[in-house]
Chain A
Amino acid sequence: MVRFSKEITLISILLLTACTGSIKINNISSVDNESDWTQLGGSPAHDRNAISQVTPPLKMLWRKDVEHSPSGVLTAAYGTLFVSTMGGKVFALDHETGVTQGKLELKNSIGKGIAIDGIYGYFGRISSDKTMFGYDLRNGNYIWKRSIGPVESIPLISGGLLYVTTKSGYLYCLDLETGAEKWKFNAGKPFHSTPAKWNGLIIAANDSGYVYGISASNGNLKWKFQTGAPVFATPIISGDDIYVGNIGGAFYSIDAKSGKTNWKHEGSGSYYSTASANDDNVFSMSGDGMMLSLSKSEGSIIWKSDLNAPISEGILLSGRYIFIGSMDSYLYALSAETGNILWSEKLAGRVRTSPLEYKGRIYIGTENKYLYAFVEELYADE
Chain B
Amino acid sequence: MKNKYIIISFALITILINFSVTFGQYHSFGRNKIQYTDFEWQVLSTKHFDIYYYPEMEELALIGAQTAEESYKILQNKYNHALNHKVPLIFYSSHLYFQQTNVIPNILPEGVGGFFEFFKGRVVIPSDGSISQFKRVIRHELNHVFMHSKLVRVQKNHKIMNKRFPPLWFSEGLAEFWSGQPNTQAEMVIRDAVLNNYLVPVDRLFSIAGTFLMYKEGENLLAFISERYGEEKILLILENYWVHPKFSEVVKYTLGVDYKELNRQWTYHLKKKYYPLLRDKDKPQMASKIIDNEGFNSKPAIYKDKDGIEKIIYVSNKIGYTGIYQKDLDGDVNDEAEFVLTGEKSNEYETFHLFRSSISVNNDRILAFVTKSGETDVIHRLNLDTGSKYPPLQFDNLVTISSPSWSPDGRKIAFTGLSRNGYNDIYIYDITGDKLSKLTNDTYDDRDPSWSPNGKHIVFSSDRTQTGAGGRYNLFKIRIKDLKIKYLTYGDHNDRAPKYSKDGKLIFYSDRGGMDNIWMLKSAQRSDKFKLTNISDDDIDLEMPENGLLDYKAVRLTNFTTSAIDPVWTNEGSIVFTAFEDFSFNIMKVDEFKNYDMALEKTSNTPKRTGLWSHKKLKKDISTFGKKYKSGYSLDIAQSQVTQDPIFGTSGGAVIALSDILGNNQYYVLVYNNARTSGEIIDHFNVAVTKVSLAGRTNLAYGLFNFNNRRFNLRKGFFDERRYGGFFSISYPLSFFKRIEATTSLAYSKEDRIGFNSREAVLAVNSVRFIKDNSLWGVTGPLDGERYSLSIAYTNDVRFNNLNYFTLVADYRKYYRLSKRTSYAVRFMYLHSDGSPDREIQLFYLGGSWTLRLYPRFRVWGTRAFIINNEYRFPFIDILGIRFPFGAVGFRGIRGALFFDTGNVYNGERFDNKWETLKGSYGIGVRVRIGGFLVLRYDIGRRTDFRNLPDTIYRQFFFGWDF
Q: Is A87 positioned at the interface, with any CB of B under 8 Å from its CB? A: yes
Stretch at the interface among B80-88, B108-116, B380-388: B80-88
Give residues 156-178 of B contacting A (CB, 8 Å): 156-159
- Cβ contact within 8 Å between A312 and B243: no
- Cβ contact within 8 Å between B232 and A310: no
Q: Is A327 positioned at the interface, with any CB of B under 8 Å from its CB? A: yes
- Cβ contact within 8 Å between A86 and B76: no
Contact residue among A87, A109, A309 (Cβ-Cβ distance under 8 Å from B82): A309
Docked pose: A179 CA to B78 CA in angstroms: 38
Chain B residue with minimal CB distance to A231? Answer: B232
Docked pose: A310 CA to B77 CA in angstroms: 8
- Cβ contact within 8 Å between B76 and A309: yes
- Cβ contact within 8 Å between B84 and A349: yes
How far is the CB of B890 from the nearest CB of chain A, in Å? 30
Docked pose: A68 CA to B230 CA in angstroms: 31
How far is the CB of B254 from the nearest CB of chain A, in Å? 9
- Cβ contact within 8 Å between B84 and A288: no
- Cβ contact within 8 Å between B73 and A289: yes
Q: Which residues of A contact B153 (CB under 8 A)?
A: 350, 367
Docked pose: A308 CA to B158 CA in angstroms: 26
Q: Which residues of B contact A327 (CB under 8 A)?
A: 76, 81-82
- Cβ contact within 8 Å between A86 and B157: yes
How far is the CB of A69 from the nearest CB of chain B, in Å? 4
- Cβ contact within 8 Å between A87 and B158: yes
Q: Is A122 positioned at the interface, with any CB of B under 8 Å from its CB? A: no
Q: Is A269 positioned at the interface, with any CB of B under 8 Å from its CB? A: yes
Write the A360-373 contact mask toward B (1 if CB under 8 angstroms, else 0): 00000001000000
Write the B66-79 contact mask toward A (1 if CB under 8 angstroms, else 0): 00000001101110
How far is the CB of A226 from the nearest CB of chain B, in Å? 14
Chain B residue with minimal CB distance to A249? Answer: B77
- Cβ contact within 8 Å between A312 and B159: no
* Contact of A270 with B82 at beta-carbon distance under 8 Å, contacts A109-B158, A308-B47, A367-B153 already known: no
Docked pose: A109 CA to B77 CA in angstroms: 24
Write the A158-175 contact mask toward B (1 if CB under 8 angstroms, else 0): 000000000000000000
Q: Is A230 positioned at the interface, with any CB of B under 8 Å from its CB? A: yes
Q: Is B242 positioned at the interface, with any CB of A under 8 Å from its CB? A: yes
Docked pose: A27 CA to B586 CA in angstroms: 82
Q: Which residues of A contact B77 (CB under 8 A)?
A: 269-270, 286-288, 310
Docked pose: A289 CA to B84 CA in angstroms: 14
- Cβ contact within 8 Å between A109 and B84: no
Chain B residue with minimal CB distance to A269? Answer: B77
Docked pose: A57 CA to B592 CA in angstroms: 81
- Chain A interface, >50% SS class: loop
Q: Is A203 positioned at the interface, with any CB of B under 8 Å from its CB? A: no
- Cβ contact within 8 Å between A207 and B80: no
How far is the CB of A350 from the nearest CB of chain B, in Å? 6
**For this complex, into which size category does the number of interface residues on chain B fall?**
10 to 19
- Cβ contact within 8 Å between B158 and A350: no
- Cβ contact within 8 Å between B242 and A207: no
Q: Is A329 positioned at the interface, with any CB of B under 8 Å from its CB? A: yes
- Cβ contact within 8 Å between B80 and A68: no
Chain A residue with minimal CB distance to B231? Answer: A247
Docked pose: A247 CA to B47 CA in angstroms: 26
Chain B residue with minimal CB distance to A230? Answer: B232
Chain A residue with minimal CB distance to B154? Answer: A86
Q: Is A232 positioned at the interface, with any CB of B under 8 Å from its CB? A: yes
How far is the CB of B436 from the nearest CB of chain A, in Å? 48
Write the A100-132 contact mask toward B (1 if CB under 8 angstroms, else 0): 000000000100000000000000001000000
Q: Which residues of A contact B156 (CB under 8 A)?
A: 69, 367
- Cβ contact within 8 Å between A247 and B82: no
Q: Which residues of B contact A289 (CB under 8 A)?
A: 73, 76
* Contact of A68 with B76 at beta-carbon distance under 8 Å, contacts A126-B243, A232-B232, A328-B84 already known: no
Q: Is A332 positioned at the interface, with any CB of B under 8 Å from its CB? A: no
Write the B43-74 contact mask toward A (1 if CB under 8 angstroms, else 0): 00001000000000000000000000000011
Chain B residue with minimal CB distance to A329? Answer: B84
Contact residue among A229, A310, A329 (Cβ-Cβ distance under 8 Å from B80): A310
Q: Is A37 positioned at the interface, with any CB of B under 8 Å from its CB? A: no
Q: Which residues of B contact A230 (CB under 8 A)?
A: 230, 232
- Cβ contact within 8 Å between A312 and B47: no
Docked pose: A349 CA to B232 CA in angstroms: 25
How far is the CB of B256 from the nearest CB of chain A, in Å? 9
Q: Which residues of B contact A269 (CB under 8 A)?
A: 77
Q: Which residues of A contact B232 (CB under 8 A)?
A: 207, 229-230, 232, 247
Docked pose: A270 CA to B74 CA in angstroms: 10
Q: Is A272 positioned at the interface, with any CB of B under 8 Å from its CB? A: yes
Q: Which residues of B contact A349 (CB under 8 A)?
A: 84
Q: Which residues of A contact B74 (CB under 8 A)?
A: 288
- Cβ contact within 8 Å between B159 and A328: no
- Cβ contact within 8 Å between B157 and A328: no
* Contact of A68 with B157 at beta-carbon distance under 8 Å, contacts A109-B242, A126-B243, A232-B232 already known: yes
How far is the CB of A238 from the nearest CB of chain B, in Å? 25
Chain B residue with minimal CB distance to A89? Answer: B159
Q: Give the most central of B74, B84, B232: most A CB within 10 Å.
A: B232
How far is the CB of B539 from the nearest CB of chain A, in Å? 33
Docked pose: A86 CA to B82 CA in angstroms: 19
Docked pose: A152 CA to B73 CA in angstroms: 27
* Contact of A68 with B47 at beta-carbon distance under 8 Å, contacts A247-B232, A350-B84 already known: no
Docked pose: A329 CA to B84 CA in angstroms: 7
Q: Which residues of B contact A350 (CB under 8 A)?
A: 82, 84, 153
Chain A residue with minimal CB distance to B84? Answer: A329
Docked pose: A287 CA to B82 CA in angstroms: 10
Write the B655-678 contact mask toward A (1 if CB under 8 angstroms, else 0): 000000000000000000000000
- Cβ contact within 8 Å between A87 and B159: yes
Q: Which residues of B contact A232 (CB under 8 A)?
A: 232
Docked pose: A247 CA to B230 CA in angstroms: 11
- Cβ contact within 8 Å between A272 and B158: no
Docked pose: A327 CA to B85 CA in angstroms: 12
User: What would be 22 A-B contacts, judged by CB atoms less than 8 Å apart?
Assistant: A68-B157, A86-B159, A88-B159, A126-B243, A229-B232, A232-B232, A270-B78, A286-B77, A287-B80, A288-B76, A289-B73, A289-B76, A308-B47, A309-B82, A310-B77, A312-B80, A326-B82, A327-B82, A328-B84, A329-B84, A350-B153, A352-B157
Binding site for B on A (CB under 8 A): 68-69, 86-88, 109, 126, 207, 229-230, 232, 247, 269-270, 272, 286-289, 308-310, 312, 326-329, 349-350, 352, 367
Binding site for A on B (CB under 8 A): 47, 73-74, 76-78, 80-82, 84, 153, 156-159, 230, 232, 242-243
10 smallest beta-carbon distances between A and B, as pairs: A327-B82, A287-B77, A69-B157, A309-B82, A269-B77, A86-B157, A288-B77, A87-B159, A230-B232, A86-B158
